[in-house]
């Protein structure tokens, strides 16, 4: 996701994400910008997810030299995420440049990575951290405030107050909207007195199971899996989802409801991210702050081990008794979880538990769809393990939450002129547009990629 705002010769970019998917669909989209990066004055970054932050090093590589504003927690998370992403970009280019790949695509020059570690380090230098609710000046006549988005640690809605003459107008960018009742995080805050709203619509056509069911579903799944007598492999995103799972496991452990099995978080990235979570108690909700007061460590308990070392990770393969391995990547496309899956999918005693969204064409999606045979690291494997999907875990507002968000923004904004729906798929976008128009009487625009939209001329 990325959105360029232009006024009086100044350019502000909202987010600068990587499009993820098949290489042929995303190559040009990620590589080239519709604007001149050196002419962007500043970036306002809503949160650290790669689909919102992951193309910042490329923007910097192509000449952007301004500040990247974000919340404190987002700048800390972006630091590890961008380094991780640069590592992946370099590895990807290395692979494409191998002789076997070159033969498949004759005539193509040596492929440069989208960006290098050096570019990522430069982007990191341009990060500027700001507290929630503290207004700051980005340009003369443009003041910005971050509101809690309740999506991942540090995630924010970006509230822009624009001064022209004696007129002041407010443009709000929702970022990714979270859900009320998530572990750790506060509920999304509603922007008010908004003139224009740019709003995400990822789940504009879907509903989630209630988050209140998540902990009990997790417990039941572990109990069932232990009864089968095998291992549990849980592919999980390193940011937010892993910490939420560990938080629930910690609670279950303290309540005496957790089966007596060893638990491993096997992901160096997740370990780094958890360390950042520990440093940002200011982002926690009240319940979490209370737990912290009585519990001391919400991300650690006896029987839970964090595994950084590769040798130790490989030793987990040898375990034959029940245990829980939480590992990345969340969609099983890379990382240590791939090895754990190779090791465990063939045995019906084992359980694979999915706790996050699985995009099309990923190994995770194939397992969720219960394909009988899957390719892992270039070899076919029959799937006999029990596959469980826990739908209650989602950091995103569903279609009802999104409707409620727009309704309450409108209620708090007598001058709301227009809503721009972004960051969604065709079905969700049009479903939301329909409801917003008919039920809320809102004017709704769905901008297409690269389209420029003039906000209605301001009076005065
Ligand atoms: Zn996100």
Return the pLDDT at 7. 81
| Residue where one domain finishes, among candidates 342, 363, 389 | 389
| Residue 194 counted as domain residue | yes
pLDDT tops 50 at residue 459: no
pLDDT tops 60 at residue 239: yes
In a shared domain, residues 135 and 19: yes
| Residue 192 counted as domain residue | yes
Q: How far away, in angstroms, is 224 Cα from ligand 1 center?
A: 31
| Residue where one domain finishes, among candidates 389, 415, 433 | 389
Q: How far away, in angstroms, is 184 Cα from ligand 1 center?
A: 16
Dist. CA 51–CA 1, nearest whole Å: 6
Q: How far away, in angstroms, is 317 Cα from ligand 1 center?
A: 32
In a shared domain, residues 169 and 301: no
From residue 342, how far is each of 338, 346, 385 by CA, in Å? 6, 8, 11
| Residue 121 counted as domain residue | yes
On whether the CB atoms of residues 275 and 300 are closer than 8 A, the answer is no
Q: How far away, in angstroms, is 73 Cα from ligand 1 center?
A: 14
Q: How far away, in angstroms, is 217 Cα from ligand 1 center?
A: 24
| Residue 455 counted as domain residue | no
Q: How far away, in angstroms, is 176 Cα from ligand 1 center?
A: 5
| DSSP β-bridge partners for residue 69 | 44, 128
- Nearest to residue 97, comparing CAs of 109, 89, 86? 109
**Average pLDDT rounded to a whole number, residues 42-68:** 97
**Average pLDDT rounded to a whole number, residues 83-108:** 81
First-to-last C-alpha distance (Å) of the chain? 32
Which CATH number fits the domain that encloses residue 413?
3.60.15.10
**Average pLDDT rounded to a whole number, residues 407-414:** 97
Q: How far away, in angstroms, is 239 Cα from ligand 1 center?
A: 10
Q: How far away, in angstroms, is 358 Cα from ligand 1 center?
A: 14
- Phi and psi torsions of 29, nearest 5°: -60, -40
Return the pLDDT at 91. 87
Q: Could you give the percent of the chain with pLDDT greater than 90?
A: 78
| DSSP β-bridge partners for residue 10 | 7
Alpha-carbon dihedral angle through residues 236, 220, 396, 367, given to the nearest 10 degrees: 50
On whether the CB atoms of residues 326 and 245 are closer than 8 A, the answer is yes
Q: How far away, in angstroms, is 294 Cα from ligand 1 center?
A: 31
Q: How far away, in angstroms, is 340 Cα from ligand 1 center?
A: 26
| Residue 27 counted as domain residue | yes
Alpha-carbon dihedral angle through residues 19, 20, 24, 28, given to the nearest 10 degrees: 20
| Residue where one domain finishes, among candidates 373, 389, 405 | 389
Give me the DSSP letters along 206-252.
-----GGGHHHHHHHHHHHHHHHTS-EEEE--TTTHHHHHHHHHHHH
Q: How far away, in angstroms, is 223 Cα from ligand 1 center?
A: 31
In a shared domain, residues 166 and 247: no
Q: How far away, in angstroms, is 52 Cα from ligand 1 center?
A: 7
Which CATH number fits the domain that encloses residue 270?
3.40.50.10890
Q: How far away, in angstroms, is 221 Cα from ligand 1 center?
A: 26
pLDDT tops 70 at residue 346: yes
In a shared domain, residues 59 and 110: yes
In a shared domain, residues 267 and 327: yes
Neighbours of ion ligand 1 (CB under 5 A): 49, 176
Q: How far away, in angstroms, is 395 Cα from ligand 1 center?
A: 8
Dist. CA 139–CA 160, nearest whole Å: 11
- Nearest to residue 44, comparing CAs of 64, 76, 67, 65? 67
Range of the domain at 368: 211-389
Q: How far away, in angstroms, is 149 Cα from ligand 1 center?
A: 10
- Nearest to residue 382, comparing CAs of 371, 390, 393? 371
Q: How far away, in angstroms, is 197 Cα from ligand 1 center?
A: 18
In a shared domain, residues 299 and 248: yes
| Residue 52 counted as domain residue | yes
pLDDT tops 90 at residue 330: no
- Phi and psi torsions of 220, nearest 5°: -60, -40
Q: Could you give the percent of the chain with pLDDT greater than 70?
A: 96
- Phi and psi torsions of 329, nearest 5°: -85, 160
In a shared domain, residues 417 and 313: no
Q: How far away, in angstroms, is 443 Cα from ligand 1 center?
A: 25
Give the confidence band of 458 by pLDDT, cuts at 50, 70, 90: very low
Q: How far away, in angstroms, is 151 Cα from ligand 1 center?
A: 7
In a shared domain, residues 202 and 215: no
* Structural domain count, the chain: 2
In a shared domain, residues 256 and 183: no
In a shared domain, residues 101 and 143: yes
Return the pLDDT at 454. 66
Give the confidence band of 26 by pLDDT, cuts at 50, 70, 90: confident
Q: Is the interface score ipTM higher than 0.95?
A: yes
Return the pLDDT at 108. 66
Q: How far away, in angstroms, is 41 Cα from ligand 1 center?
A: 24
Q: How far away, in angstroms, is 250 Cα from ligand 1 center?
A: 25
In a shared domain, residues 40 and 161: yes
- Which is higher by pLDDT, 315 or 97? 315
Q: In whole numbers, what is the pLDDT of the chain averaged over residues?
A: 92
| Residue 460 counted as domain residue | no
In a shared domain, residues 98 and 228: no
Dist. CA 296–CA 289, nearest whole Å: 10
| Residue 351 counted as domain residue | yes
**How many residues can be counted in the chain?**
460
pLDDT tops 60 at residue 329: yes
Return the pLDDT at 112. 87
Q: For 133-160, what is each residue's pLDDT tens digit?
A: 999 999 999 999 999 999 999 999 999 9
């Amino acid at each position: 996701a990325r959105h360029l705002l232009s006024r009086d010769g100044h350019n502000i970019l909202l987010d600068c994400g990587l499009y993820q998917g098949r290489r042929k669909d995303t190559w040009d989209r990620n590589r080239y910008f519709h604007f001149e990066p050196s002419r962007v004055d500043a970036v306002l970054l809503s949160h650290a997810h790669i689909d919102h932050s992951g193309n910042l090093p490329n923007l910097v590589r192509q000449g952007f030299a301004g500040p990247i504003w974000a919340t404190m927690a987002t700048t800390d998370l972006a630091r590890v995420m961008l380094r991780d992403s640069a590592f992946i970009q370099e590895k990807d280019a290395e692979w494409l440049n191998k002789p076997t790949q070159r033969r498949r695509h004759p005539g193509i020059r040596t492929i440069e990575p989208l960006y290098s570690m050096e570019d990522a380090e430069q982007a990191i230098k341009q990060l500027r951290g700001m507290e929630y609710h503290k207004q700051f000046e980005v340009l003369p006549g443009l003041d910005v405030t971050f509101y809690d988005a309740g999506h991942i640690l540090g995630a924010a809605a970006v509230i822009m107050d624009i001064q022209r003459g004696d007129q002041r107008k407010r443009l709000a960018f929702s970022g990714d909207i979270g859900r009320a009742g998530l572990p750790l995080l506060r509920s999304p805050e509603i922007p008010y007195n908004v003139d224009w709203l740019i709003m995400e619509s990822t789940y504009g056509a879907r509903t989630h199971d209630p988050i209140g069911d998540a902990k009990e579903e997790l417990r039941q799944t572990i109990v069932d899996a232990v009864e089968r007598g095998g291992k549990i492999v849980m592919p999980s995103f390193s940011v937010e989802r892993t910490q939420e799972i560990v938080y629930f496991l910690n609670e279950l452990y303290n309540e005496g409801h957790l089966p007596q099995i060893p638990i491993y978080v096997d992901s160096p990235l997740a370990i780094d991210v958890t360390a950042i979570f520990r440093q940002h108690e200011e982002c926690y909700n009240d319940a979490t702050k209370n737990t912290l007061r009585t519990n001391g460590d919400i991300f650690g308990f006896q029987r839970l081990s964090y595994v950084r070392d590769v040798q130790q990770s490989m030793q987990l393969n040898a375990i034959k008794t029940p245990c829980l391995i939480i590992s990345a990547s969340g969609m099983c496309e890379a990382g240590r979880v791939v090895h754990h899956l190779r090791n465990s999918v063939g045995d019906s005693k084992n359980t694979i538990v999915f706790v996050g969204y699985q995009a099309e064409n990923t190994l995770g999606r194939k397992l969720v769809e219960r394909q009988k045979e899957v390719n892992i690291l270039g070899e076919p494997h029959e799937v006999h393990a029990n596959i469980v999907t826990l739908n209650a875990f989602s950091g995103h507002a569903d279609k009802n939450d999104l409707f409620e968000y727009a309704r309450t923004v409108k209620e708090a904004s007598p001058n709301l002129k227009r809503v721009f729906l972004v960051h969604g798929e065709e079905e969700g976008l049009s479903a939301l547009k329909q409801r917003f128009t008919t039920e809320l009487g809102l004017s709704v625009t769905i901008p297409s990629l690269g389209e420029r939209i003039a906000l209605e001329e301001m009076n005065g």
